[in-house]
Structure 1
């Protein structure tokens, strides 16, 4: 068996190598003259980082899941399970500042990828149908191999019972922005994407600067070194206490970011988001250092029949049902992660006022049937607000 080797880039500069090992794992090695850590879990003081089985979780989580993974694997004629092969073909431009590419002159057995809806030369993590896109005037189109890719287009699921995902996330982000503040959620809009001729939620990437520069961005599955697993369940293998612990250890302003995280977690409960897993929290490079990134992937999952109604990660060792979460559980959690009684009360008071202001956002449209999407969405959110905020 030929063991493959790739060049690892940090902000488009060679920082080291990633190679397969004879035992079936991978090894990342920093370049001789490289002295800056490219990830929390890959400190530069340790020159080699080996993972016993499969691709190291930090790099594994750079790759796609679900729809885009199937499309990229099929287009390039790669096995869907081949994490290393997918990174070699599509990993040069990933979310965040780290990329993976073949060494110059190493063509391998590559099949030319010309299908633009496969985002040749780029990839993005996550299970939802999504693509990297660019904006030309008022038109969004799939990003090609070269140039900027400052937006992500997120589409409705092909599953019949999830055909409202775009509408759902647009509504959830609007509501969350009112409760958290506009700067606390990523920028978004609804638009049609050419080539696919399909409406999408377009989110502006916060890991790219206006001129296309790359910012370090690490999700908490990467920071906690959680393998994705065959069924991509590794992102659920943790607690919200673990999330707070990461913030305390790696954030440049941990006290502020723990409070932001606590406020965000309450909003996710209020909006019915049972899928706030490790990959939905990230640390972002700022002028001050790593900080909790804006909120993203906010969806009311409780509105869908058959979807797990328990929260994504544990609190106090348990995963309670959404409708069983009471103020005491959240208050006790806040105390357990180091927030004062006054800080916790302030969060609840702020959210109570903001929920009143946001009430019109989730008001069902005139003429919608009582069992319509917004009616069901609104019923869940209002019930949560009444139970948790008393409003």
Structure 2
């Protein structure tokens, strides 16, 4: 028996239909009206706008990429809803109402007005939120069997909430109501990973990069990282603030690569593939190519071992034109999910230096020299001179900014002794590259 889910954009426009046969193999087909709309965008660069059905192999990387990365979390969710942990369609059937980006996956019988049926906010007290946060490892995504919940990719234990832009009151979104913030707790066995991520993200913004906004709050002395969702847009209306979803996809999804092999050594995308796709997909490549390169350089200098293709994304915005029509603007999303490996050396018996994506074919950051960057510049169509200047400029900015930022967060809720390890690691790396390039 074939099962069906409708895919809507912002709970309003019918994008297409996702089906699964009795064996669990999925297929997807765009709706004709969506294909005819000038405001249409593809579900994924790997699933282009066209007539006809896409088979399981073509669409699995995108739809699998909507689900949590951690297999344990998938098993917990599957057990709660009595489906197999490998049944991607079955899991999305229960948690697809609020995914990354603009898409909602709903049952056909909810198609008339999905946002008006049961979508709502429920205010939550600080004590109740703290209780749910404490239970996140056992109850991922704040899931309860009688609740319509959401799906978030990634390895952190996380959930999503709605924070009122005016009052800052926190509520839980239900029935597909758009969330505004993702909250994360520390990665298992990596204490203070929320604080180190917040520091790295704040550092990125301090040196002028377009990075997601983050904040640390304590709940029963547990640090929780709140990340403002960049796949949301806000508009003031007579009824208050309206939150609109923006479509996004990470580069594994966009390149049709399953998230299980997100690291380049496992067969995941390399930098050349990401830059080639950016040139093809971006509305303004001349802006997005340097932006993506800046993110790559920052991830290297910050010592981020997990800068794989799932941690870079494209974002789609529907924008009005002068002709009272709408077109689609595709761009590199803000930076997100940045951390430093050296801050957690004490958490491992040994820690081998590695890069999630090679630079000029080199995966070992301690062996990297200018020749590798020069070779990489040629594979991504960049001028070696321009790349050299960008690398040197960012190294100098980080060297000048990181210690004052460390002082700024000292003795706040965001403070951690691990930040000193980050400062030493990043400062040493920047000094070394300033000497090599200067």
Please give the range of the TM-score, normalised by the shorter of the 2 chains.
0.7 to 0.9
Q: Does 1:323 align with 2:366?
A: yes
Aligned: 1:175 with 2:218: no
1:310 matched residue in structure 2: 354
TM-score, normalising length: structure 2: 0.76
Paired with 1:133 and 1:105, the residues of 2 have a C-alpha distance of: 23
SS at match of 1:19: strand
Matches within 5 A, 1:244-323: 244-286=275-317, 287=319, 289-305=329-345, 306=348, 309-316=353-360, 318-323=361-366
Q: Please, which runs of 5 or more residues in structure 1 have no aligned partner?
A: 107-113
1:389 aligns with 2:417: no
For residue 96 of structure 1, the aligned residue among 96, 101, 123 is 101
The CA distance in 2 between the partners of 1:102 and 1:342, in whole Å, is 54
**Aligned pairs, how many?**
370
Aligned residue in 2 for 1:111? none
Q: Which residue of structure 2 aligns with residue 351 of structure 1?
A: 394
Matched with 1:149 is: 179
Aligned to 1:133: 161
Q: 2:232 aligns with which of 208, 212, 220?
A: 208
Shift of 1:142: 4.3
Q: Which of 60, 63, 66 matches 2:67?
A: 63
| Aligned-residue offset at 1:90 | 0.5
Q: Quote the residue 2:188 is aligned against.
A: 158
Contact 2:98 2:177 in 1 (8 A): no
The C-alpha deviation readout for 1:66-98, integer Å capped at 9, x for no partner, is 265344334333332221111000112111122
Q: 2:43 aligns with which of 29, 38, 48?
A: 38
| C-alpha deviation, 1:315, in angstroms | 3.2
| CA pair 377-218 structure 1, distance change in 2 beyond 3 A | same
Are 2:150 and 2:176, in contact at CA under 8 Å, matched by a contact in 1? no
Q: Do the aligned partners of residues 267 and 65 (structure 1) sit closer, same or farther apart at CA in structure 2, a change above 3 Å counting?
A: same
Q: Tell whether the 8 Å contact from 1:11 to 1:97 is kept in structure 2 after alignment.
A: yes
Matched, 1:188 2:214: yes
The alpha-carbon deviation at position 186 of structure 1 amounts to 0.8
Shift of 1:385: 0.6
- Report if aligned partners of 1:365, 1:374 keep a CA contact under 8 Å in 2: no
Instruction: Kindly report which structure 2 residues correspond to 1:114-125, keeping only aligned pairs within 5 A, or say none.
Output: 117-118=142-143, 120-125=148-153
Deviation string 1:238-279 (CA, Å, 9 cap, x unpaired) is 211111111111111113211111121111111110101111
Write the distance in 2 (CA, Å) between the matches of 1:220 and 1:232.
9
Q: Root-mean-square deviation (CA), in Å?
A: 3.0
Query: Shift of the alpha carbon at 1:138?
Result: 4.3
TM-score under structure 1 length normalisation: 0.84
Unaligned runs of 5+ in 2: 112-131, 133-138, 235-241, 320-327
CA shift for structure 1 position 351: 1.2
Equivalent pair of 2:396/2:434 in contact (CA under 8 Å):
no
Query: Per-residue displacement from partner, 1:174-211 (whole Å, max 9, x unpaired)?
Result: 222223x15x1011111246xx8843111111111112
Per the alignment, do residues 294 and 62 of structure 1 end up closer, same or farther by CA in structure 2, a change over 3 Å counting?
A: same
